[in-house]
A and B are shown apart, each in its own frame.
Chain A
Amino acid sequence: MLASDTTTPKTAEAALSLRGISKEFPGVKALSDVSLDLYPGQVTALVGENGAGKSTIVKILTGIYQPNGGTIEVAGQKTQFANAHAASAAGVTAIHQETVLFDDLSVAENIFIGHAPRGRFGLIDRAKMNENARAILKQVGADINPVTRLRDLGIASKHMVAISRALSVDAQVVIMDEPTAALSHKEIAELYELVEKLKADGKAILFISHKFDEIFRIADRYTVFRDGQMAGEGLIEDVSEDDLVTMMVGRSVDQIYPKKDVTIGEPVLTVSGYSHPTEFDDINFELRQGEILGFYGLVGAGRSELMQALFGITKPSKGAIKIAGDIAIVRSPAEAIGRGIVYVPEDRGKQGAIIGLPIFQNVTLPSLHKTSQQGFLKLAEEFKLAREYTARLDLRAASLDQDIGELSGGNQQKVVIAKWLATKPRVIVVDEPTKGIDIGSKAAVHEFMGELAANGLAIIMVSSELPEILGMADRAIVMREGRMAGEFKRSEMTADRLVRAAAGIKEKAV
């Protein structure tokens, strides 16, 4: 008998390797010297906090960003992904968190959009397209008719279509960016099966997730990023949940937070039993004067939805709020503003600045009743109000008459904050206050929040950035899947505890 055990090498060659990748943006180093190997038939979990550089690496892998340094190797060959098309041609495909599909096209059209099989005269061969789609759908184990309109499918089926689309380009490397974020338990189980199938087909999979249970269930290897650097890599079987958490959060605190010591005063906002049919359930907390209350959690934990309900944009199904001791019913944003609650939303572009209006008009928009007399606006008063509050925020602008669109992101943020302060609020809710702004502006925003609290304002700070919560909050509430998963005083707050509460992992036994 002849033994032929030399045919399989001990470690397979990586399908794709990144070596020493760096990526800089003006003012920020997003990635420095990171490496990542993806092996055929294996799932590599990429773990890290928000801002650790996960999205950046995905964009480099898919050719959307070009690295400033380092090399990319596909099947041992050095290469470059000059654009998204090059990455796709090299067999790298990504399934994004929010899948981009076309609701009014059929399933098959969605799968083959951009590379539909052509027949005579270059026209799309629909029969062939549907047939190919059926084959791919069968491959991923999805029982979907390819001629169905996408709109008529559930979210899980849509996901299957997105995955089928990724596979239709003959991908060797599949990137899944938080694929289970929007799925139910049953749908997640189906996704796991699919991942197993892809593994069996020899695809190399990069799986990005915040959920530890699923990482340990389906991943073979892990890579941990922290602040744009490698914090560890290896085989899942050699590591514990605790080790991963430590790698994720064991940071060097390189930012100094200008947290001021403030005497906490009377309660200004009391929320009890606040619930919403689909977004959050049984939320109870008290917010005091001078306090910064942090809301930490994963994206989609229901924090913003809760804040929108407090601000009167959506209606809660039950529960009550008290403002300064009095029961309050807030039915619209105008009422919330009138009662001294303001909300600085997360997406500046969509919800903050009004491009097209000059700076001073952006500032005075919610305060127009103060700057008008007998129904007529007093422009001089408006200027005065705008000047006062923009000066407090150290706004850099040529003139208050300037269109707000001409300002940088950080300065736009300052205008939006000035707008809210001008209403003289009691409670200010800031949703991801420093997301996507440069470090200098970040520090200014933090400094200013500290000052506001010192002046007796109560602040709710929704943030997905741990250091921001640890650095700025007097107290932190962690939300997970729409419920309160923990509440920590400043003295009890550790990165470890917050991350565990947010991900639903038990506290480390002492």
Chain B
Amino acid sequence: MIKQFIKSREALLVLAILILLGLISSRFSGFIAPRNMASVFQDTSILIMLALGQMVVILTRCIDLSVASNLALTGMVVGLINVAAPGLPVPVLLLVAMSLGAFLGAINGILVWKVDIPPIVVTLGTLTVYRGIIFLISDGAWINAHEMSASFKAFPRYELLGQPVLSWMAVASIILFYLLVVRTPLGRAFYAVGGNPHAAVYTGINVGFTRFMAFVIAGAISGVCGYLWVSRYAVAYVDIAGGFELEVVAACVIGGISIAGGIGTIGGAVLGALFLGIIKNALPVVDISPFWQLAISGSAIIIAVAVNARSERKKGRIILKKAEHA
């Protein structure tokens, strides 16, 4: 087991993160203090959760570019609900956010499954549509901190065992997604559908439905993140989390989730998100312009894809050893 881990992509990522932390701490030693690491984790929680949702979609050989728009739309809707009915308890809002997110994901899923449109086209479309709906329902206006109820804003910050709920939500998501992916037939189907859709058909798996479910799950977690985002930053407007979908996809790719489907682990997705989260949090403290962040995460993506491509090619060579026949 240990031997296997050392050779795995996750080990490589852990190593990369350790080197990164080493470099940062050589310029600012406080960065690796446990307290700061915990706050980096908290800050990366939403990215981790979205990356988990994106991962199951990518596993099925699809992609969901609408996650950030979904997040922004659900965030706006729960924000408006909170303004209209400040007494509504947070768990109800969470449920609303999750259901609405799942519904938006289901729209993506139906279009991919029943109408047979390529996922990248579907979600590029819904990306714009969902953003547009935010404008329609909010009239372009912001919901500001003072309009939100105190409990609405306090929830993600509420501390349990010394850590904020936001971090615990990420931890819970990691556990749930691990169970889903590793221990349920649906999770197995994600891998089968992405790894070899033709073969999956012959084993009785409904490829379209499996993809649909992946979109619903990704949508549901985007919805939850919508509430978390709006309450954490205590603001909702049309453009929140604009372009964040690319960061989510980047986290997956850096984490070794194969864009061709069928390959990837929960550990990879989480580490990929943490890698980006650390860079994002470290750059200001080591006095590098945040604009460098884009260049650095871009380079990380290219390096990760190159590493993935190399290890996948090695596999191909072994297959080709089989004898050819006339």
Contact = CB atoms under 8 A, between A and B. Distances in A.
A134 B319 CA distance: 44
A355 B319 contact: yes
B188 A355 contact: no
A366 B326 contact: no
Contacts of A377: 182-185, 188
Given A356-B191, A408-B322, A350 B203 contact: no
A354 B323 contact: no
Contact of B325 (A30, A334, A343): A30
A333 B188 contact: no
A355 B323 contact: no
B326 A31 contact: yes
Given A333-B203, A405-B319, A354 B326 contact: no
B199 A30 contact: no
B240 to A, nearest CB: 36
A26 B326 CA distance: 12
A351 B194 CA distance: 13
A372 interface: yes
A37 interface: no
Contacts of A25: 323-326
B185 A368 contact: yes
A353 B199 contact: yes
A406 B55 CA distance: 25
Contact of B183 (A56, A332, A376): A376
B199 A409 contact: no
A171 B321 CA distance: 34
Given A337-B204, A356-B262, A30 B185 contact: no
Contacts of B182: 377
B195 A354 contact: yes
A354 B157 CA distance: 44
B192 A409 contact: no
Interface in A54-91: 54-56
Nearest to B194: A356
Given A334-B204, A337-B204, A352-B199, A368 B188 contact: yes
B313 to A, nearest CB: 12
A364 to B, nearest CB: 8
Contacts of B204: 332-334, 336-338, 366
A366 to B, nearest CB: 4
Interface string A329-369: 00011101110000101000011111111000100011011
A365 B325 contact: no
A interface secondary structure, majority: mixed
B315 A403 contact: yes
Interface in A423-452: 435-438
Interface string A372-386: 100111010000000
B326 A357 contact: no
B202 A345 contact: yes
B196 interface: yes
B205 interface: yes
B263 interface: yes
Interface string A89-122: 0000000000000000000000000000000000
A55 B324 CA distance: 12
B201 A357 contact: no
B179 to A, nearest CB: 7
A369 B315 contact: no
Contacts of A354: 191-192, 195-196, 199-200, 262
B266 to A, nearest CB: 15
B195 A357 contact: yes
B203 A419 contact: yes
B206 interface: yes
26 contacts: A25-B323, A27-B323, A51-B326, A53-B326, A54-B326, A333-B203, A333-B204, A334-B205, A334-B206, A351-B196, A355-B315, A356-B191, A356-B258, A357-B191, A357-B192, A365-B205, A372-B184, A372-B185, A375-B185, A377-B185, A377-B188, A403-B315, A405-B315, A406-B318, A436-B322, A436-B324
A332 B326 CA distance: 35
Contacts of A336: 204
Nearest to A367: B203
A338 B198 CA distance: 19
Contact of B202 (A30, A343, A357): A343
A299 interface: no
Given A343-B202, A366-B203, A368-B188, A355 B326 contact: no
Contacts of A355: 195-196, 262, 315, 319
Q: Which range holds the interface residue count of chain B? A: 20 to 34
B195 A26 contact: no
B199 A436 contact: no
Interface string A398-427: 000001011011100000000100000000
Query: In the complex, which range does the number of interface residues on chain A fall in?
Result: 35 or more
Nearest to A50: B326
Contact of A365 (B203, B262, B318): B203
Contacts of B183: 376-377, 379
A350 B185 CA distance: 22
A368 B183 CA distance: 11
A316 interface: no
Contacts of A368: 185, 188
A228 interface: yes
A167 to B, nearest CB: 28
Contacts of A356: 191, 194-196, 258, 262-263
A337 B198 CA distance: 16
Contacts of B262: 354-357
Nearest to A227: B326
Interface string B298-315: 000000000000000001
Contacts of B263: 356
A366 B188 CA distance: 11
A181 interface: no
Nearest to B325: A436
* Interface-central residue, B198, B323, B326, by most chain A CB under 10 Å: B326
B275 to A, nearest CB: 23
Which among A52, A55, A365 has the greatest number of chain B C-beta atoms within 10 A? A365
B325 A28 contact: yes
A28 B326 contact: yes
Q: Which 7 A-B pairs have the closest CB atoms?
A: A409-B322, A30-B326, A334-B204, A56-B326, A356-B195, A368-B185, A366-B203
A313 interface: yes
Contacts of B324: 25, 436
Interface in B172-230: 179, 182-185, 188, 191-192, 194-196, 198-206
A408 B206 contact: no
Given A356-B195, A405-B318, 5 more contacts: A26-B323, A351-B201, A351-B202, A354-B200, A361-B191
